[in-house]
């Protein structure tokens, strides 16, 4: 952590510590962020410790509270009508850590299962970091964990996803807009089978 960041946090803390009214603190932080042009909606959210833990929100523009999820993941959920329960059946979110907890990866062929594994990894990164990007080494390790690694044809299988994935084994992968939509359907399918 660099000194500028430490000084900023310490300064903010020193300004806020004498204020005992929690709501006033939240309003002050939210107002400052809004003045900076930032999304301040997370200030009013209570951390739930996970996706499926519930929690209250004072943000009346969003009918569901998606707990600690980042704005891009929340937008993806809302646009694709993915519920917290459905997401919680496929992913376990614990702070910065996000794990795929689905029992199996669906697909009629090994090639389909490889692509679906890559799609889930892209979603995991969207939830974890706000961007559906990942490296091939991570994807191969997850494929091995789920039994979807195509030993001799894995690279060919990964490329068989059509327009769901962009990139390569060398440069890494990104889940595309069609991939994000397919990922939502995959989450719903997995959630209904759990």
Distance CA 39, CA 119 (A): 28
Average pLDDT of the chain is 81
Residue 171 or residue 59, greater confidence: 171
pLDDT (0 to 100) of residue 160: 87
pLDDT (0 to 100) of residue 174: 96
pLDDT (0 to 100) of residue 57: 36
Distance CA 76, CA 80 (A): 6
Q: What is the pLDDT of residues 112-154, one digit of tens each?
A: 999 999 999 999 999 999 999 999 999 999 999 999 997 888 8
Identify the CA nearest to 124 among candidates 80, 170, 183, 54. Answer: 183
Residue 27 or residue 177, greater confidence: 177
Residue 179 or residue 17, greater confidence: 179
Distance CA 180, CA 158 (A): 16
Q: Where are the domains of the chain?
A: 3-44, 71-193
Residues 58-89, buried b or exposed e (16+ Cβ, 10 A)?
A: eeeeeeebbbbbbeebbebbeebebbbebbbb
pLDDT (0 to 100) of residue 112: 95
Tokens 């519920």 belong to 83
Q: What is the pLDDT of residues 27-81, one digit of tens each?
A: 777 767 666 666 666 565 443 344 443 333 333 334 444 467 899 999 999 999 9
Q: What is the pLDDT of residues 81-104, one digit of tens each?
A: 999 999 999 999 988 899 999 989
Distance CA 146, CA 107 (A): 13
Residue 141 or residue 6, greater confidence: 141
């Amino acid at each position: 952590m660099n000194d500028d960041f430490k000084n900023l946090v310490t300064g903010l803390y020193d300004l806020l510590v004498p204020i005992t009214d929690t709501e006033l603190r939240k309003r002050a932080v939210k107002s400052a962020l809004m003045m900076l042009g930032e999304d301040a909606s997370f200030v009013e959210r209570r951390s739930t410790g996970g996706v499926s833990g519930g929690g209250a929100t004072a943000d009346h523009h969003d009918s569901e509270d998606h707990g600690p999820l980042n704005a891009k993941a929340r937008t993806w959920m809302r646009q694709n009508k993915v519920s917290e329960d459905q997401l919680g059946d496929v992913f376990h979110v614990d702070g910065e850590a996000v794990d795929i907890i689905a029992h199996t990866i669906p697909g009629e062929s090994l090639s389909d299962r490889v692509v679906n594994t890559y799609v889930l990894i892209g979603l995991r990164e969207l939830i974890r970091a706000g961007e559906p990007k990942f490296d091939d080494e991570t994807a191969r390790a997850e494929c091995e964990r789920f039994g979807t690694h195509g030993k001799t044809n894995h690279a060919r299988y990964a490329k068989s996803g059509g327009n769901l994935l962009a990139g390569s084994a060398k440069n890494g992968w990104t889940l595309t807009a069609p991939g994000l939509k397919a990922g939502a359907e995959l989450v719903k399918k997995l959630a209904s089978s759990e």
